[in-house]
Amino acid sequence: MSGPEQSGAAWLPFTRPAIDEETIAAVAAVLRSGWLASGPKVAQFEAALSQYLGGRPVRSQTSATAGLEMALLACGIGKGDEVITPALSFVATANVIVRVGARPVFVDVGLASRNIDLEQAEAAITPRTRAILPVHFAGLPLDMERLYAIAARHRLRVIEDAAHAIGSLWAGKRIGSFGDLVCFSFHPNKNITTIEGGAISGGSAEELRAIELHRWHGQVKRAADDFDTLLAGGKCNLSDVAAAVGLGQLEHLEEFNARRRTLVARYFELWAEEPPLRLPQRGDAGHSWHVFTPLLPLGTLSITRGEFIEAMRARGIGVGVHYPAIHLFSAYRALGYRDGQFPNAERIGRETVTLPLFPAMTLADVERVVAAVNAVVRGART
Ligand SMILES: *Cc1c(COP(=O)(O)O)cnc(C)c1O
C-alpha cells in the first residue's frame, strides 16, 4: 500500500500485519527443509491452536472461505436447505451458502453491535432451515447462550464465522473453545495471519472426517499402494510455510489483541464527548477488536463517504469499508433481495468507515487519526 506523495507525515494504513524476525527465520528454515506443503509444521500449528482453544479438534485450511464451505458440506447442507446469516458481513459469509447450493436467509444486525439480531434470526426459521451462520463482528462475541438455545430449540447446527474473533472471549471462554463448528481466518488483515489460511475448531467425529475428505481430494490411503477416493473432494490444505507463519503469530496473539484494546480505548477516550462519528458498541475486555468501524453522519455532512476517504488519504491516513450490505450486491438481488429489507445493515453499509487499528500503531497515531477525522468532519458540517 502506498500513500499520497503530497503528504509530509508517514502513511498510516488502516491495517498492517506484524511479522517478527523469528517468524521470518522459521519460514526460511521450512523453505530449506525440503518439505513445503502440509507436513510437520501444519500438524504443529493445528496442535498449538487446539491447545489455545482448550483442546478442541482443529483442522486448518487455505482460507476461512474454504473452511466455511467445508463446514456446510460436512453438516450435509445443500440444495433445498436454508441457512440464516447476517445481511452485514464480508460477502464470503453468504457466498459459501450459495456455493453449496443452499439459500442464504438474511437477517438484520444491531446498529451498534453489527451482530445478527437473534430475535429476528429465530423468527426467520422455517422447516427448511438447517443452520445458523452468524459472525462475531469485529470480534464482539454474540450472546452465545441465546444463540445456542435457539439452535437447540429448533435442532439447527451453528457454523460460527469467527474470522474476526480469534482471541475473543464470551463469559470468560475463548470463542472456538466451545460451540459447534467455529471458523477462523488468517488472512493478512485478520488479528493473526498465515498469509492466506483458516481453521475450523470443533465438529463431531463424522464432520471432522468429512472436512478432512473435502480438504484433500476425498482421498484415503490404506496402505502404500492402496488408495481410495470416498467423495469428490477439493484441495485446500495449508502449507508448512504458512503454518510456520501461523506458529510465530500465535505466540503474539494475546499481546496483539491487548494492544488493539489499548488503541481502541484511546479512540473512545478522545471521543468521550460529542464524537463526530457514531462509535460502535464498546463491548467488554473479551472484544478482540479486529476492526474499528464508526459510522459517518452523512445526513449532516456536505461530503460523501468517498470524499471523506479521499480527504483522510490526503492527510496520509488509510480508511477502509467493512462492509457493504450483502443483500444489495447483484448476485443477491438476483435471488430476490432488495433495498429496504434490512435497514441497519443498509445504513451501516452506506456509512461505515474503518479507521486505522493494528498492533504496531502508537497512541500518537490514534491521536493523529482523531485530529484528522475531527477536522474533516467539522469542516464538512452543513
Ligand atoms: C475475512 C473474512 C472471511 C474470509 O476469510 P478468508 O480467510 O479471507 O477466506 C469470512 N468472513 C468474514 C467475516 C471475514 O472478515
Does 63 sit in the ligand 1 pocket, CB within 6 Å? Answer: yes
Q: Convert 228-267 into a string of H (helix), E (strand) and C (coil).
A: EECCCCCECCCCHHHHHHHHHHHCCHHHHHHHHHHHHHHH
CA-based angle 47:51:52, to the nearest 5?
A: 120
pLDDT at 2: 47
- State the distance from the centre of ligand 1 to the C-alpha of 357, rounded, in angstroms: 17
- State the distance from the centre of ligand 1 to the C-alpha of 196, rounded, in angstroms: 10
Ligand 1 pocket check: which of 65, 142, 238, 245 to mutate, most ligand atoms within 8 Å of Cβ?
A: 65
Does 150 sit in the ligand 1 pocket, CB within 6 Å? Answer: no
DSSP designation for 75: T
Does 15 sit in the ligand 1 pocket, CB within 6 Å? Answer: no
Does 132 sit in the ligand 1 pocket, CB within 6 Å? Answer: no
Domains and CATH numbers, the chain: 4-15+253-319+354-379 (3.90.1150.10), 21-250 (3.40.640.10)
- Beta strand pairing call for 157-161 and 181-185: parallel
* Closest residue by Cα to residue 181 from 273, 64, 265: 64
- State the distance from the centre of ligand 1 to the C-alpha of 8, rounded, in angstroms: 34
Whether the Cβ atoms of residue 356 and residue 370 lie closer than 8 Å to each other: no
pLDDT at 382: 86
Ligand 1 pocket check: which of 160, 187, 290, 291 to mutate, most ligand atoms within 8 Å of Cβ?
A: 187
Using CA positions, which residue lies closest to atom 13 of ligand 1? 90
The burial class, CB within 10 Å (0-12 / 13-18 / 19+), for 155 is exposed
pLDDT by residue for the chain (382 residues), tens digit each? Answer: 444 444 457 999 999 999 999 999 999 999 999 999 999 999 999 999 999 999 999 999 999 999 999 999 999 999 999 999 999 999 999 999 999 999 999 999 999 999 999 999 999 999 999 999 999 999 999 999 999 999 999 999 999 999 999 999 999 999 999 999 999 999 999 999 999 999 999 999 999 999 999 999 999 999 999 999 999 999 999 999 999 999 999 999 999 999 999 999 999 999 999 999 999 999 999 999 999 999 999 999 999 999 999 999 999 999 999 999 999 999 999 999 999 999 999 999 999 999 999 999 999 999 999 999 999 999 999 8
Sheet holding 198-202, edge to edge: 58-61, 198-202, 181-185, 157-161, 129-132, 82-86, 103-107
Using CA positions, which residue lies closest to atom 5 of ligand 1? 64
Does 93 sit in the ligand 1 pocket, CB within 6 Å? Answer: yes
Task: Using the structure block, give the residue that is written with the C-alpha cell 469467527.
Answer: 162
pLDDT at 145: 98
Residue 189 CB coordination number (10 Å): 20
pLDDT at 8: 59
- State the distance from the centre of ligand 1 to the C-alpha of 63, rounded, in angstroms: 7
pLDDT at 9: 77
Distance (Å) of CA 96 to CA 5, 78, 91, 184: 40, 11, 9, 14
Beta partners for 159?
Answer: 181
- State the distance from the centre of ligand 1 to the C-alpha of 32, rounded, in angstroms: 31
* Closest residue by Cα to residue 62 from 315, 243, 230: 243
Task: State the cell numbers at 18.
Answer: 506484524
Q: Measure the CA–CA gap between 359 and 347, rounded to whole angstroms.
A: 29
Q: Looking at the annotation, which residues are catalytic?
A: 190
Cis peptide before 323 (omega within 30 of 0): yes
Does 187 sit in the ligand 1 pocket, CB within 6 Å? Answer: yes
Task: State the cell numbers at 99.
Answer: 456455493
